[in-house]
A and B are shown apart, each in its own frame.
Chain A
Amino acid sequence: MGSFCYHTFPASSHLLVSDFAPGFKSPKLPYLSKQQERWFSRSQGASKIFAYYGLREPPYKLDALEPYMSRKTLEKHWGGHHRNYVEGLNKQLEKTEVLYGCTMDELVKVTYNNGNPLPEFNNAAQVWNHDFFWDSMQPGGGDMPKLGVLQQIEKDFGSFTNFREKFVEAALTLFGSGWVWLVLKREERRLAVIKTSNAVCPLVWDDIPIISLDMWEHAYYLDYKNDKGKYVNVFMDHLVSWNVATGRMARAEAFVNLGEPKIPIA
């Protein structure tokens, strides 16, 4: 996923910045929309900077999560819904001048506007949420978390079973569309299970999400129809990627002081 820009940015964002200074040739990028290709082929004129977001692929093939999440669901969910959010966001960003140059995280926080979301919030947040969601799953996932994550879960929930119960309960008692998250709360310095409606994500409260589960009906309807319980249990048993969670926890610990590390005595 190559991209050109003047500023450095963390690798997790998928910002594509195109600039038309003379003599500047950028490589052919994948998933470039027709419009972006037109911009590139235009002769050098104005050096206006446009920011566009691209659709990132999940880190596995679309049929890799069978039989727990069918290829058809992934095609419709990623290729349909997620893609629509990205394209919708790009269309909205064309009209406004204030909002580009942000990383995805910043864009979500800015458009949330402290509870009074701007029209771009829905698309931006959903793009972020879905990227996070695809990363939160892996083929051959499920099972138990290991080491640091497990320790932290046991510290904050008592046991892994207790956490799992809380997670499933939150998923099943969510009214309408939304997401269920395992977050690391910055202020309280502990893990918690939270549920959010529609497009809201814990970034807006400055918390650090570790795992997410999409409870919008489009995420499970094709596979499980209205059987939410089965979907959530399958996610916890077979899909959730604790490896990614470990990575995210490790990164989160750089920002949140969770206490002294347990150094084994030799």
Chain B
Amino acid sequence: MRCGIIVKDWQGEVIAALCLIEDAVSTPFAAEGKALWRAMVFCAEIGLHAVIKIILTKPTTRTRRSPPYLSLTTFRSHILHFPNTSRPSFPSSPMALRSLLTRKTTLGLGLRGLQTFSLPDLPYDYGALEPAISGEIMQLHHHKHHQAYITNYNKALEQLEGALAKGDTTSIVKLQSAIKFNGGGHINHSIFWKNLTPVREGGGEPPHSSLGWAIDTNFGSLEVLVQKINSEGAALQGSGWVWLGLDKESKKLVVETTANQDPLVTKGQHLVPLLGIDVWEHAYYLQYKNVRPDYLKNIWKVINWKYAIEVYGKESK
């Protein structure tokens, strides 16, 4: 098959072109996919940072009877970044390729080997945690707040990379607080989404097995633990998180609070978070207004103890 690739910059000026002949393919659909793939590889080869739009012309198949025709198929893809380390492997099918391109989140492959982070999907609908946490809060929390942390984290990392390359120590040090805040926000919220699950999928079911036993040993009973977490969460001034953590060194369970978006490790390098509850006001204000204790009381109905058990099992070995 014959493949022609034209690369234009964002103003429409042609910056590169490529004509080549590829191996014959069985269907026009496969030809489309292969041409698309070759175009992406070409962009990576010439060192492009990001590709915004890929326009495919439908492959022409010549037969004796019908004249050739052209039609435009536009793939709207959000910013694609290309790796520089290795040639990306061919996806298994053209359909996989299309879904790769039309995904709403960025692909997370940096050009200079810098990984960019993307918003993880929620394993449940926004409204699935009602009435403990309203769908409105979940949507804002996930789609706006968490996304903002990720965006700013990526930005800070990019700036850090630039500062590192220049050896600009002042900037490197100045960026640390932004990285701690936004990166911490990303870590904490990623754990938080896994800590919650709808009631119909086991939310609120008390823990059993090793973790249940450990809770009884460390705190007396689950009720005592819940009381402790709720009181520490309610007493926290300002914004922060309240955690149930495992101290890997002493093998004990601990209840800790962290301020702002500090991850649990800032309270102890051997601490592993099992459960975290966000007590920033954005996590509950629209529904519970200023009554944080009510939020803390109700969130236990959707807590995913299965995840905590998994992490506990893995980390307590």
A residues adjacent to B (C-beta < 8 A): 76, 80-81, 84, 122, 175-178, 197-199, 216-218, 221-222, 225-226
Contacts A80-B290, A122-B237, A218-B290 given; does A225 touch B144 at CB 8 Å:
yes
Contacts A175-B177, A175-B181, A175-B260 given; does A222 touch B238 at CB 8 Å:
no
Number of A-B residue pairs, CB cutoff 8 Å, is 51
Q: Could you tell me if A176 and B286 are in contact, using CB atoms closer than 8 angstroms?
A: no
Contacts A175-B260, A198-B238, A226-B144 given; does A217 touch B281 at CB 8 Å:
yes
Chain A, Cβ-Cβ closest to B180: A175
B140 beta carbon closer than 8 Å to chain A:
yes
B49 beta carbon closer than 8 Å to chain A:
no
Q: Could you tell me if A81 and B290 are in contact, using CB atoms closer than 8 angstroms?
A: yes
B285 beta carbon closer than 8 Å to chain A:
yes
In the complex, chain B residues 155-194 whose Cβ is within 8 Å of any chain A Cβ: 177, 181
Q: Could you tell me if B259 and A176 are in contact, using CB atoms closer than 8 angstroms?
A: yes
Q: Could you tell me if A76 and B140 are in contact, using CB atoms closer than 8 angstroms?
A: no
Chain B, Cβ-Cβ closest to A84: B290
Give the total of B residues in contact with A, Cβ under 8 Å. 20
* Chain B hits for A176, CB < 8 A: 181, 238-240, 259-261
Chain A, Cβ-Cβ closest to B141: A226
B145 beta carbon closer than 8 Å to chain A:
yes
CA distance A172 to B181 in the complex (A): 13
Nearest-neighbour CB distance to chain B for A213, whole angstroms, equals: 16
Q: Could you tell me if A175 and B281 are in contact, using CB atoms closer than 8 angstroms?
A: no
Contacts A80-B290, A176-B260 given; does A216 touch B281 at CB 8 Å:
yes
* 5 A-B pairs closest in CB distance: A176-B260, A217-B281, A198-B238, A177-B238, A80-B290
Chain B 235-274 interface mask (CB, 8 Å, partner A; 1/0): 0011110000000000000000001110000000000000
Chain A, Cβ-Cβ closest to B259: A176
B residues adjacent to A (C-beta < 8 A): 140, 144-145, 148, 177, 181, 237-240, 259-261, 280-282, 285-286, 289-290
* Chain A hits for B280, CB < 8 A: 217
* Chain A hits for B177, CB < 8 A: 175
Chain A, Cβ-Cβ closest to B262: A176
CA distance A177 to B289 in the complex (A): 16
Q: Could you tell me if A221 and B239 are in contact, using CB atoms closer than 8 angstroms?
A: no
Q: Could you tell me if A222 and B286 are in contact, using CB atoms closer than 8 angstroms?
A: yes
Nearest-neighbour CB distance to chain B for A82, whole angstroms, equals: 10
* Chain A hits for B282, CB < 8 A: 217, 221, 226
Nearest-neighbour CB distance to chain A for B244, whole angstroms, equals: 22
Nearest-neighbour CB distance to chain A for B144, whole angstroms, equals: 5
Partner of A199, one of B237, B259, B290: B237
Chain B, Cβ-Cβ closest to A228: B148
Nearest-neighbour CB distance to chain A for B126, whole angstroms, equals: 14
Chain B, Cβ-Cβ closest to A216: B281
* Chain A hits for B148, CB < 8 A: 226
Of listed A76, A178, A217, A218, residue having the most chain B CB within 10 A: A217
Nearest-neighbour CB distance to chain B for A185, whole angstroms, equals: 23
CA distance A176 to B237 in the complex (A): 11
* Chain B hits for A178, CB < 8 A: 238
* Chain A hits for B140, CB < 8 A: 225-226
CA distance A198 to B289 in the complex (A): 18
Nearest-neighbour CB distance to chain B for A247, whole angstroms, equals: 30
Q: Could you tell me if A80 and B238 are in contact, using CB atoms closer than 8 angstroms?
A: no
CA distance A180 to B285 in the complex (A): 21
Partner of A175, one of B144, B261, B285: B261
Nearest-neighbour CB distance to chain A for B189, whole angstroms, equals: 13
CA distance A248 to B305 in the complex (A): 54
CA distance A226 to B282 in the complex (A): 8
Chain A, Cβ-Cβ closest to B282: A217
Nearest-neighbour CB distance to chain A for B149, whole angstroms, equals: 11
Partner of B237, one of A81, A84, A198, A217: A198
Q: Could you tell me if A217 and B285 are in contact, using CB atoms closer than 8 angstroms?
A: yes
Of listed A80, A81, A216, A225, residue having the most chain B CB within 10 A: A225
Nearest-neighbour CB distance to chain B for A106, whole angstroms, equals: 22
Of listed B144, B181, B239, B280, residue having the most chain A CB within 10 A: B239
